[in-house]
Structure 1
Amino acid sequence: MSKDNKFDDIKDELKKIVKQRGLKYTEQREIVLEVLLKAKGHLTAEEVYHEVKLANPDSNIGIATVYRSLSFLEEVHLITSITFGTDGKKYESNSKKHHDHLICVSCGKIIEFMDEEIEKKQEKIAKDNGFKITSHVMQLLGNCSNCQ
């Protein structure tokens, strides 16, 4: 599947969710979602706003609209966030394959990783305890090589 088809499929999912909830479909939500779908990394709300303005200089999307759109998109599971305590959140789309995060507590650098052994171990622990995992988030906090 091409990247454009993937974007279109996710936008179609947004349209379906909005319709099911009896809400009005807005271009602003789509623009915010598209910024995160195209982002190489994790973005703060302010960075999303900056990217929205770069991609759509004539739009009248304000920072409050970006925050509301991010909140809605996260609520309907099209995006996810990592919370940095008082430093706020960083967002990414949910279109990527499952992965976990190493997060530098000094500079905020985020490294994504996937480890099959960890995934299998989590499933075994859940099974041994009569538990069925429906979702999980792993964030390992520490200092990156630059901040050590």
Structure 2
Amino acid sequence: MADSNEVIDELKKIVKQKGLKYTEQREIVLNVLLHAEEHLTAEEIYNLIKTTNPDSNIGIATVYRALSFLEEVNLIASINFGVDGKKYESNKKEHHDHLICTSCGKIIEFLDDEIEKRQDRIAKKNKFKITSHSMQLYGTCPQCQESK
């Protein structure tokens, strides 16, 4: 995982290149995701900010705007749950893929070397250069399977 100070410096550079004003709110939202152990909704991020930065004057609308900007500049990623919204994570973690429970929303991160090698072979066979990828497998976690 990248050092959080390096990522904040990257944010400052992006904002400057775009000719925008640097805001502490974007930094606070990014910091929450850089230190999060799990994928978070905008509401969960907002509640964490209220707990960890009670003096900051950040509203939920500001959190949504910051998330949109941070995703646009590729510092964070989201997983869309349709009408249930999105969950966010930092893009600065080591590469991983996701198992997503469609019942409870639980997300399990995994990395499988065989899958990664197979993707590379498929790309090579098709003379395709992969620049990035994301794999999300949807199903039901063990807890939700038991409760049915």
Please, what TM-score do these two structures have when normalized by structure 1?
Answer: 0.95
Distance 1:137 1:96 in 2: 13
Which of 97, 106, 109 lines up with 1:100 in the alignment?
97
Aligned-partner SS, 2:3: helix
**2:51 paired with 1:54:** yes
Work out the CA distance in 1 between the residues paired with 2:120 and 2:91.
21
1:9-48 equivalence runs, <5 A = 9-48=6-45
CA distance in structure 2 between the aligned counterparts of 1:24 and 1:105, rounded to whole angstroms: 39
Which contiguous aligned blocks of 4+ residues in structure 1 show a shift greater than 6 angstroms?
none
Q: Any residues of structure 2 matched to 1:1-148 within 5 Å, and which? A: 6-148=3-145
Alpha-carbon deviation of 1:42? 0.1
CA drift of 1:47 comes to: 0.4
1:121-144 per-residue CA deviation (whole Å, 9 max, x = no partner) reads 001111111211111110010000
Alignment RMSD: 1.1
Q: CA–CA distance in 1 between the matches of 2:138 and 2:58?
A: 34
- Mapped partners of 1:138, 1:85: distance in 2: 17
Q: TM-score, normalised by structure 2?
A: 0.95
Q: Structure 1: state its 5+ residue gaps.
A: none
